[in-house]
Structure 1
């Protein structure tokens, strides 16, 4: 199964909202109530890209939109990025988020010059935790009440996984040796 990433476009808003308007998602930040909210979020995202704060991509399978992913650059520590992704439930557990994560790593470490990439997730999001582990991220902590959830009007816990550029380069060297 081969996916393709391309920069997000305003025309993606309706499909993104359709995917994200799913009660089975366990995530924190993007709580959108309408397609118009999604368009506003995308507009802000385009501005953040101009300022090198965020790099977001649409995930395509057979040229159909099945999700989105991106890297957010920490403004107070510009050598650190945080990746995130969402996949249409129909495509869960097929390795798509893992593949998107690998592609984001390449962009983050090789193109953006990051030294560290983090993945934050809700402790109940076992799927995202599996993606992080499968992608070689190390669990660094359980963060108590560190993320504000607008929909629940309260703070939530999070798990933190991370990979350094050194880890990434070592995994690339191992992968190229095993292919020879």
Structure 2
């Protein structure tokens, strides 16, 4: 645990604006900040309907109209835009990609037999949950420790 804290503190002290774009841990930390961005969730989407790091869309049966026609659908799309802009190959805890989530949202909000079915698992492609750099090398694997590091790093960025 102390190693994790040391790494987070080191990252906070060493990041600079030009280095940030090339630093996957910082990009991940910033992407996690999108989930609680007060500029995204402004119009009143109930917290229980908000997409979180789990990757599950928690819209109860019968609430599709409220979710899809209210502020939640748009705010969820804005949050996904935020995550994708910062980390284009972001994976949620359930291994869903931003694109997988978008497919589930569009299907669940469609006026077809799929309306109200926000099952993300239908769209998840079995694949890695690793961040690959431009040289094709694995530079970061997303797991609980990575998430903890990202959260600590994000806290440092907020203080910056």
Q: TM-score range by the shorter chain?
A: under 0.3
Task: Give the structure with the larger strand fraction.
Answer: 1
Give the TM-score of the pair, scaled to structure 1. 0.26
Give the TM-score of the pair, scaled to structure 2. 0.28
Structure having the higher Rg: 2
Bigger relative contact order, structure 1 or 2 (CA pairs below 8 A, ≥6 apart): 2
Task: Give the structure with the larger helix fraction.
Answer: 2
